[in-house]
Amino acid sequence: MARRGLFLLTVLGVFVAVWAVWSESAPSFRTGDGTEPIFPALAGIDPEISGLNVETRDYTLQLKKAGNNWTARSHADYPVRSAPAMSLVSALAAMRPLEAKTRNETWYPIIGVEDRATPDSKSRLVTITGNERVLAEALVGKVSASLGADLIGGTFVRKPGDVQSWLVTGVAEVPGSLQEWFEPLFNIPGPSLSRITITEGDEVLLAAVKPAPDASFQIETVSPSLANEGRVLEQVLMRRIAGVLVSAQFNNVRPASGVAALPNKRKVAFVTSDGLELTAEVSQLDTVPWVVFHASAPPQSSSATLAAEIAGRTEGWAFQLPQGEMLALLTKAEDLLMSEQSTAPQDAPGRIITDPAQLPFQQPGAPGGR
């Protein structure tokens, strides 16, 4: 009898848990009249909207609006893509309540509307401001699976500080990563590269050329301090450096004027077959590496327009690149050379700097300089 009782209790517990989950995502049989927006302060006041803040488990972003354009107030007022911002504002303004959902905070994670401070929270906090007041604030949760056949769709939301959660009309598209808010700095296919030159201070450490789009890089110039008979280029690491130019994104940005210009600054210059020259200058600020880009091309050349577009997005700014791209730019020149008899690694990580003490330049007073 004891075993049977335990079995029944177990079955009952499973049933209650399944019912709790189903009840939060079940089709809405009790719907609102759909006439009153859940955020009435957004109705018809688009010109009043001046700010948009987004906080997720992966990033925090504060935007401000000027006319039809948006900039990242949290990232030195660098321009952002307007489409995600306008889409998010429009989605919240159009939301209408369909059905009241759980008021039990232990069930919030089921529909993704838990407080941001909750450990492992997956909710997205969206705040829209205007005229120095909050017009709308929502913890945006999961998209409702029960409204999949509905063209408008539905989303679970909850207002911060309010225990009541809601299933509302519409879907709020919150970008999953910080990079999705910004246009790529540039996107230059690897096959178009014809030359890569690495310089530190006034010394050219290494210059490599590629005679054809599908050819391997070859040594053109190498510093006497690195020269050695029978050495060839490490092609895996050269391709990683070239990969910096493909759909280049960034994690942070600041005015270039605030980045210290060091005398032994690392420069990596890329030249394409149609004459575009893009130089990445790497400096340090408070032990953090920042990159300043300069783009140019001969007047009237086929790459002149592209060079002007890149300069418009990068000139006057310094960027923190994702770790992989940053480490590729900081690859030590000696690691790019290998004995002709050596076998290049195919899928191995390669000899890329991972210890900041091994950086090819150092902020004055920083440990580990060369």
Residues 6+ apart with CB under 8 A from 224: none
What are the φ and ψ backbone dihedral angles of 24, each rounded to 5 degrees? -85, -20
Low-confidence stretches of the chain (pLDDT < 70) are 1-34, 44-47, 147-151, 229, 260-264, 340-370
What distance in Å separates the CA atoms of residue 182 and residue 287, rounded to the nearest whole number?
25
Q: What is the pLDDT of residues 336-346, one digit of tens each?
A: 998 765 554 44
pLDDT of residue 46: 63
pLDDT of residue 34: 54
* pLDDT the model gives residue 18: 41
Measure the CA–CA gap between 34 and 153, rounded to whole angstroms.
13
Say whether 348 sits in a helix, a strand or coil: coil
Task: Identify the pLDDT of residue 197.
Answer: 97
CB neighbours (10 Å) of residue 25? Answer: 18
* CA separation for the pair 251, 247 (Å, rounded): 13
Single out the residue of 272, 279, 248 nearest to residue 191, CA to CA.
272
User: What is d(CA 219, CA 235) in angstroms, rounded to the nearest whole number?
Assistant: 11
| Annotated domain spans of the chain | 31-181, 190-342
Question: What's the pLDDT score for residue 341?
Answer: 57
Token pair belonging to 115? 């407080």
SS3 345: coil
Give the integer Cα–Cα distance in Å for 47 and 212: 54
